[in-house]
Amino acid sequence: MPIAFLSSLFFSSALLLAAPLAAQSLDEDDAFMMMDEEMISIATGGLQPLSQAPAVATVITNRDIEAMGARNLDEVLETVPGLHVSYASLYLNPIYSIRGIRTDTNPHVLMLVNGVPLTNLYQGNRGSFSTLPIENVARVEVIRGPGSAVYGADAFSGVINVITKGAGEIDGTEVMGEIASFGTRRTALLHGQQFGKMALAFYLGYQQTDGDDGRMIEEDAQTPLDRSLGTTASLAPGSLDTRGKRLDIRLDAKRDHWQLRLWNWRLQDMGVGPGLAQALDPTGRVDFSNYLTDVTYDNPDFARDLGLRATLSYMDTSGKSRQRLFPAGTRLPIGSDGNINSAGSFVDFPDGFIGNPSIDEQHWRLDSSLFYTALQHHRLRLGMGASLGRFQASETKNFGPGVINGTLTDVTGTPYIFMGDQERQAYYLSLQDEWQFAPDWNLTAGVRYDNYSDFGDTVNPRLALVWQSLYNLTTKLLYGRAFRSPSFQELFNKNNPVAIGNEDLKPETIETFELAFDYQPTFDIHMTLNLFSYEIKDLIEFVPTGGEEVAENVGRQKGRGLEWELAWDVSSAVDIRANYAFQDARDVATDEAAVGVPRHQFYLRGDWRFVPQWSIDGRFNWISSRARPADDPRSALGGYRTVDLFLRRTDIFGKGELGFMVRNLLDQDRREPSPQAIPNDYPLEGRSYSVTLKLHF
């Protein structure tokens, strides 16, 4: 009902408003209005106007990011219709759920940094603590819907491309400092300069936080054990451990058609959130490091009617942990294999139940695209590439196979580790044609073939029909198929009864249909409406099998919904941005609502430049209730409303700006879903304050 009603309403409004305008000729001002819109690159691999792109997409510019006072990528993405930022049970890693597609590991959204995938082999996601600082971001491009025909694996429910600042965007030297609630400090240095034909950009950022100790957990996984066994080991009530330190260093060098980027981010003494086993662990810590290097050659005039873009990249990711799954003094039922087993004998662990898995991954990628434009009204893109990923693990623990009498044992290199060394090789071929077959009609058709050494091959097509219905109304009909490759955890995990891998897994697949409208009735108003429907097959779930939980392709999910967006420049001093998203995602077998995702989302932002150099930016975000798993006796998790305010003073002595931010102004009790082991869910931050100073030289 909501889809049909809003679709009819939008169509009627569009036609009524556009009818008198359509009779007019396209004058100079109209042409300017069309030329002034944002451009996007990730829809086809080439730059094009957002309204004409064969995808449902959003672009967030640096101007938007600065106006809202965002401190990280999570806050930016929460402004995208149909995208909700939640948090995982592992270290409270961010989950970007799009259109009701959500799992705890969140491998269904492909994140790119300057077009290079930021993907982890072990869980198939972005790795631990993957949110990015925002000071060095020039723009963020988001596609909602499948993208495997262009980007291959994991471009399943959406694609996020984070584009960092080059020398032109910085143009000089910038320094930033911030102090905030919870012992949070941030500082950054950026420099961009042209040296002859060489453009250089540099970024150095550091942040540290003590964490919000008001995010209290009343009971954890150890609490019921204490009740039943008479122990007092639980550290609950206690707070989520969200402390940490982060260092980012980036270098960007560009000359002619060549560009080199180097990036390293390091995390030290990161808190483990709710604990690895959902038992509080305030002394646990994780150290994480990521290196990313890419070299790109981009020449649109490589030869007559031929453009070439090629990128060679290398990423090295490593993470080491020191943590207790259950606290000192715990008593647990242990089976003959040394793992927890409800039928086993009770064993005391005076030093705690300790497990320290560590990972190290290396990724080599080569991606290339040839653009051929000799055929009239056609733009052909041929893509070719290959990748090699390697995974090594190490582990110390005082439980499980290979451990004697609860002694902390290094099982690295033995059959008793959680996973042996693994390797994945892949290559792909893709073909895409952008065909303008009539003056107001464009058809984009593409297909990509991927072959993986560990699970085989897959083919994913796309079709996009874009009709310039009126000069200010664009209609899009889209179809796409995408896949999500099984992670190494799902394929190769062992010695862990709650997550055993299965080497016979197939990739998950999704087919999506979309109908989208992009309408600009005046220079100052821009609206979009998107209707979508999808079906997911072969979802991977861990299924109880012979006393263990083994990964199987058993799940199916269907979803439908809509996304509406409004950008209204009310006056030269006031801007309003709003969006609403409705999604109805359900398990096909049970017809139960998808777990942990809001059925409704509403976002409203207003920016008021009330006097010269002064502005106030207000944000309102509403998230509706979220369903529980079928075997979870808790009632649905209630929704919440958040209000944020950002007061900004620009042009301080012509060199900088000062910002004052209040987040969660009304100090709402906001929560995101947790496993049953933590009955009252994960509390989000309470009211917080920050002061930010930026200077440009």
Confidence of residue 37 (pLDDT cuts 50, 70, 90): low
The encoded tokens of residue 258 equal 């060549």
pTM for this prediction: 0.93
Q: What is the pLDDT of residues 154-167, one digit of tens each?
A: 999 999 999 999 99
Number of Cβ within 10 Å of residue 316's Cβ equals: 15
Q: What is the pLDDT of residue 552?
A: 96
The DSSP symbol for 230 reads -
Q: Give the residue extent of every domain in the chain.
A: 2-280+290-696
- pLDDT exceeds cutoff 80 at 289: yes
Backbone angles phi, psi at 423, to 5 degrees: -140, 145
For residue 14, the model assigns a pLDDT of 41
Please give the helix or strand (H or E) that residue 11 lies within, else none.
Answer: helix 2-22
The 8 Å CB, 24+ separation contacts for 303-309 are 304/374, 305/372, 305/373, 305/374, 306/370, 306/371, 306/372, 306/373, 307/370, 307/371, 307/373, 308/368, 308/369, 308/370, 308/371, 309/45, 309/368, 309/369, 309/371
What are the tens digits of pLDDT across the range 469-499?
A: 999 999 999 999 999 999 999 999 998 878 8
**Is the pLDDT at 1 greater than 80, yes or no?**
no
**DSSP track, 106-126:** --SEEEEETTEE---TTTSSS
Pick among 3.40.50.620, 1.10.579.10, 1.10.1740.10, 2.40.170.20: CATH of 2-280+290-696: 2.40.170.20
Cβ atoms within 10 Å of 575's Cβ, excluding its own: 20
118 within 8 A of 153, measured Cβ to Cβ: no
The per-residue pLDDT for 637 is 97
Give the residue-averaged pLDDT of 616-621.
Answer: 97
- Rounded CA-CA distance 78/561 in Å is 18
pLDDT tens per residue, range 400-425: 999 988 899 999 999 999 999 999 99
Using CB atoms within 10 Å of the CB of residue 647, give its burial: 0 to 12 exposed, 13 to 18 middle, 19+ buried.
Answer: middle
11-21 pLDDT tens trace: 434 433 343 33
* Average pLDDT of the segment spanning 421-450: 97
- Among residues 299, 309, 281, 292, the alpha carbon closest in space to that of 162 is found at 292
Average pLDDT (455-461) is 95
Interval 360-369: pLDDT, tens: 999 999 999 9
pLDDT confidence band for 300 (50 / 70 / 90): very high
Distance of alpha carbon 144 from its chain centroid, rounded?
11
pLDDT over 70 at 258, yes or no: yes
Distance CA 109, CA 600 (A): 20
Give which of 502, 646, 648, 526 is closest to 576, Cα–Cα.
526
What is the model's pLDDT at position 131?
80
The DSSP string of 244-310 is EEEEEEEEEEEETTEEEEEEEEEEEEE--BT-TTSS--TT-EEEEEEEEEEEEEEEEEEETTEEEEE
Check: CB of residue 238 under 8 Å from CB of residue 282: yes
pLDDT in tens, 170-183: 999 999 999 999 99
Q: What is the mean pLDDT of residues 233-237?
A: 97
